[in-house]
Chain A
Amino acid sequence: MNTNTIKKIALIAVMTILTLAAAASLTAQTPPVTLTKPATPTKAPSGDGFIQRWFVLEPIPATGVTDNAVQSLIKKDLFPNQFAIVPKDGDKVSVGNNELTWHALDTINYNVNLFHFARERKKKTSDVLFWAVTIVNSPREMKDVRLAIGSNAASVWWVNGKEVIGIYGDRQAVIDDGVSKRLTLNKGENIIRAAIVNGGGATDFCARFLDADDKPLKGITVSLGK
Chain B
Amino acid sequence: MNKNLAAILFIVMLTILLSPARANGLDGQIGIHDPSTIVMCDGKYYTYGTGGTTLISDDGWTWRRGPNLPRRGLAPDVIHIGDKYFLYIAANSGVTKADVFLLTNKTLDPNSPDYKWEEGGIVASSDGVEDCNAIDPGLLLDPTTKRLWLVYGSYFGYIRLVELDPKTGKRLNPAVKPVNIAINSEAAIMIYQDGWYYLLVTHGSCCRGADSGYNIRVGRSKKITGPFLDNMGVDMIQGGGKLFATSAGRVIGPGHFGLFDLSDGVQRFSLHYEADLDRGGASVLDIRPLQWKDGWPVAGENLRAGTYQFESVRTGTVLELAVEGFPVGGRPVRRGPPPGAMPPAAGNQGPPPGPPPGTGPGTGGGIFGGIGKPIPTQDVAEVSQKWPTGEVNIRMGNYLLQAQQKWAIEPVANAGGYLGAPYFKITIAGTTRTLTATEGGELIALPTFNGSPEQLWRIDQLADGSWRVSPKAIPNTKEPLALSAVGSSFATLSKFDPKSEKQRWLLKTP
Residue pair B489, A179 in contact (C-beta under 8 Å): yes
Residues of chain A within 8 A of B476, CB atoms compared: none
Residue pair A146, B486 in contact (C-beta under 8 Å): yes
Closest residue of chain B to A176 (Cβ to Cβ) is B487
Residues of chain A within 8 A of B324, CB atoms compared: 66-68, 168
- Contact indicator per residue, chain A 134-157, by CB within 8 Å of chain B (1) or not (0): 000000000000101000000000
Closest residue of chain A to B397 (Cβ to Cβ) is A169
Closest residue of chain A to B324 (Cβ to Cβ) is A67
Q: Which of B442, B488, B489 meets A182, CB within 8 Å? A: B442
Instruction: Name the residue in B397, B440, B487 with the highest tally of chain A Cβ atoms < 10 Å from its Cβ.
Output: B487
Given contacts A181-B440, A181-B442, A181-B492, contact A148 B349 (CB under 8 A): no
Residue pair A179, B490 in contact (C-beta under 8 Å): yes
Q: In the complex, how many angstroms separate the beta carbon of B196 from the nearest chain A beta carbon?
A: 33
Q: In the complex, how many angstroms separate the beta carbon of B399 from the nearest chain A beta carbon?
A: 13
A180 to B442, CA, bound (A): 10
Residue pair B489, A177 in contact (C-beta under 8 Å): yes
Closest residue of chain A to B441 (Cβ to Cβ) is A182
Closest residue of chain B to A149 (Cβ to Cβ) is B487
Residues of chain A within 8 A of B490, CB atoms compared: 165, 178-180
B21 at the interface (CB under 8 A from A): no
- Contact indicator per residue, chain A 65-93, by CB within 8 Å of chain B (1) or not (0): 01110000000000000000000000000
Residues of chain A within 8 A of B442, CB atoms compared: 181-182
Closest residue of chain B to A180 (Cβ to Cβ) is B490
Residues of chain A within 8 A of B381, CB atoms compared: none
Residues of chain B within 8 A of A165, CB atoms compared: 490
A167 at the interface (CB under 8 A from B): yes
Residue pair B489, A67 in contact (C-beta under 8 Å): no
A126 at the interface (CB under 8 A from B): yes
Residues of chain A within 8 A of B486, CB atoms compared: 146, 176, 179, 214
Residues of chain B within 8 A of A167, CB atoms compared: 395, 489
Residues of chain B within 8 A of A214, CB atoms compared: 486
Measured as residues with beta carbon below 8 angstroms from the partner, the interface class of chain A is 20 to 34
Residues of chain A within 8 A of B397, CB atoms compared: 169
Instruction: Name the residue in B395, B489, B490, B492 with the highest tally of chain A Cβ atoms < 10 Å from its Cβ.
Output: B489
A174 at the interface (CB under 8 A from B): yes
Q: In the complex, how many angstroms separate the beta carbon of A149 from the nearest chain B beta carbon?
A: 8
B18 at the interface (CB under 8 A from A): no
Residue pair A177, B487 in contact (C-beta under 8 Å): yes
- Contact indicator per residue, chain B 447-490, by CB within 8 Å of chain A (1) or not (0): 00000000000000000000000000000000000000011111
A68 to B442, CA, bound (A): 24
Residues of chain A within 8 A of B440, CB atoms compared: 181-182
Q: In the complex, how many angstroms separate the beta carbon of A110 from the nearest chain B beta carbon?
A: 15
Q: In the complex, how many angstroms separate the beta carbon of B437 from the nearest chain A beta carbon?
A: 12
A148 to B485, CA, bound (A): 13
Q: In the complex, how many angstroms separate the beta carbon of B233 from the nearest chain A beta carbon?
A: 45
B9 at the interface (CB under 8 A from A): no
Residues of chain B within 8 A of A174, CB atoms compared: 488
A101 to B486, CA, bound (A): 35
Q: Which of B323, B441, B488, B492 meets A176, CB within 8 Å? A: B488
A200 to B345, CA, bound (A): 14
A148 to B486, CA, bound (A): 9
A222 to B395, CA, bound (A): 29
Q: In the complex, how many angstroms separate the beta carbon of A120 from the nearest chain B beta carbon?
A: 19
A58 to B324, CA, bound (A): 28
Given contacts A67-B323, A179-B490, contact A126 B349 (CB under 8 A): yes
- Contact indicator per residue, chain B 480-510, by CB within 8 Å of chain A (1) or not (0): 0000001111101000000000000000000
A176 to B323, CA, bound (A): 20
Q: Which of B323, B349, B487 meets A178, CB within 8 Å? A: B487
Residue pair A178, B489 in contact (C-beta under 8 Å): yes
Q: Which of B441, B488, B492 meets A177, CB within 8 Å? A: B488
Closest residue of chain A to B442 (Cβ to Cβ) is A181
A178 to B486, CA, bound (A): 8
- Contact indicator per residue, chain A 195-218, by CB within 8 Å of chain B (1) or not (0): 000001000000000000010000
Residues of chain A within 8 A of B488, CB atoms compared: 174, 176-178
Q: In the complex, how many angstroms separate the beta carbon of A51 from the nearest chain B beta carbon?
A: 16
Q: In the complex, how many angstroms separate the beta carbon of B377 from the nearest chain A beta carbon?
A: 22
Q: Which of B395, B441, B487 meets A148, CB within 8 Å? A: B487
Residues of chain A within 8 A of B489, CB atoms compared: 167, 177-179
- Contact indicator per residue, chain B 432-451, by CB within 8 Å of chain A (1) or not (0): 00000000111000000000
Closest residue of chain A to B323 (Cβ to Cβ) is A67
Residue pair A179, B323 in contact (C-beta under 8 Å): no
- Contact indicator per residue, chain B 396-428, by CB within 8 Å of chain A (1) or not (0): 010000000000000000000000000000000
Q: Which 10 A-B pairs have the closest CB atoms?
A: A179-B487, A67-B324, A176-B487, A179-B486, A177-B488, A179-B490, A181-B442, A177-B489, A68-B324, A178-B489
Return 5 A-B CB contacts under 8 Å, by A number: A67-B322, A177-B488, A178-B487, A179-B492, A182-B440
List the interface of chain B (C-beta within 8 A of A).
Answer: 322-324, 349, 395, 397, 440-442, 486-490, 492
**Contacts A166-B322, A174-B488 known; 5 new A-B pairs at CB < 8 A:** A167-B395, A168-B324, A179-B492, A181-B442, A182-B492
